[in-house]
Amino acid sequence: MVRTIKWFFISLLLLLLAGIGYFTYSFVQFANNIQSHPETTKFGGLTPKQLIMSDSYTPPKWEGNSRVNVLILGGDSRGLKKNEVPRSDSIMIASIDPVTKKAYLFSILRDTYVKIPGHGEDRINTALAIGGPNLAMRTVSDLLGIPIQYFFYTDFKGFIALTDAIGGIDLEVEKDMKYRDSEDGHEYDIDLKKGMQHLDGKMALQYVRFRHDAMSDFSRTERQRKFLQAIAQKMQTTGSLIRLPKILNSIDPYLETNLTTTDMLKLGTLAFEAKTEGMVSQQIPPSELLIEKRVGGAEVLSVNRTKLQDYIKALFEGRDPLAPAGKSAESGNKNKTGTAPVKK
């Protein structure tokens, strides 16, 4: 009997070690596959001049004991020629304080008119196309006044693959959403019904892309933050952790990042510990600071950079960014929708 129990525990230990080895191998393979390299980068179409200008920005090193800010770029690569670099269809920043484990999720309106270092002024979503991820990181860092240490880039296919790999998301669709898109033979048409839905990858892409209503990109970025929060919550479940090797294998062809394997492990651990339930979700620039302007006959969105940076600082300090200093932001400012009237 004692011998049987002994062999049972030895077998259990061997299975445990094998499982840990499999998870470790899967993670290392995933990390190596998505790291940005000159020979495999999705931004190989940049000219030497563009590369020199974008490489002039060196992302600050994250030591693990200070706030980490990650730029999440979603590209629309449809209809591009070989080596042509896409504009960023969505621009988000995930920020986590490793001490408090407080998480923040910002989405930047893609028509925000900003200074792009070395390229004058333009819409912020062009930074990726004219200088790659490094220039996009530098542009966002200059706008918000915070260091951007890392980036993640994916496209429509990567978003679909991730959503399907975790088994989809149950989410309340706020309204009927319908739009026909002939660019790819109607592959990305939008047709969603109002109400609670189980969204697979293609349905989820419809949900986060829809902007054909009165609020356009304002409501679209709000939905993107809502969906990404749901993704983060599901990734923290036991079921998702068990399926992690399969999830990583499904998405690695579509991702690119500047994270090293070591930093990815540190960041992954921190992201798992982060408080997704209390995540602060915010449109950037907030509607209260937006200024409409016309450039070359087109309407764009502008913002006072100093006021915006003060706004971000107040959020990180737990203050209401629109109230006198000292007032806490814990009540009433956690989930701003960003739908207030735009200043003129």
Cβ atoms of residues 50 and 131 within 8 Å:
yes
Instruction: Report the distance separating Cα 291 and Cα 301, nearest Å.
Output: 6
Q: Tell me the per-residue pLDDT of 62-114, one tens digit each, with 9 for 90 and over.
A: 988 899 999 999 987 776 666 677 778 899 999 999 999 999 999 999 899 99
Cβ atoms of residues 219 and 211 within 8 Å:
yes
CATH topology for 41-153+270-321 is Nucleotidyltransferase; domain 5 (3.30.420)
Instruction: Report the distance separating Cα 135 and Cα 126, nearest Å.
Output: 10
Q: List phi, psi (to 5°) of 44.
A: -70, -10
Instruction: Report the distance separating Cα 178 and Cα 249, nearest Å.
Output: 32
Closest CA to 219 of 338, 77, 65: 338
Q: Which residues of 121-133 are buried (b: 16+ CB within 10 A; e: fewer)?
A: ebbbbbbbbbbbb
What own/partner pairs with CB < 8 Å and gap ≥ 24 does 223-227 have? Answer: 223/174, 224/90, 224/92, 224/107, 225/92, 225/105, 225/107, 225/281, 225/282, 225/283, 226/171, 226/281, 227/169, 227/171
Q: Where are the domains of the chain?
A: 41-153+270-321
Angle at 225 between CA 220 and CA 231, to 5 degrees: 125
Cβ atoms of residues 223 and 283 within 8 Å:
no
* DSSP labels, 89-101: EEEEEEEE-TTT-
Instruction: Report the distance separating Cα 257 and Cα 31, nearest Å.
Output: 9
Q: What is the pLDDT along the chain (344 residues), one digit of tens a residue?
A: 656 655 555 555 555 445 455 456 565 676 777 787 766 677 766 655 555 555 556 788 898 889 999 999 998 777 666 667 777 889 999 999 999 999 999 999 989 999 999 889 999 999 998 888 999 999 999 999 999 999 999 988 999 999 999 999 999 999 999 988 776 667 788 999 999 999 999 999 999 999 887 667 888 899 999 999 999 888 888 777 778 888 888 888 889 999 888 888 888 888 888 877 788 999 999 999 998 888 887 888 999 999 999 999 999 998 888 876 555 544 444 444 444 444 44
Place of tokens 């790659």: 132
Which amino acid type is present at position 41?
T
Cβ atoms of residues 115 and 121 within 8 Å:
yes
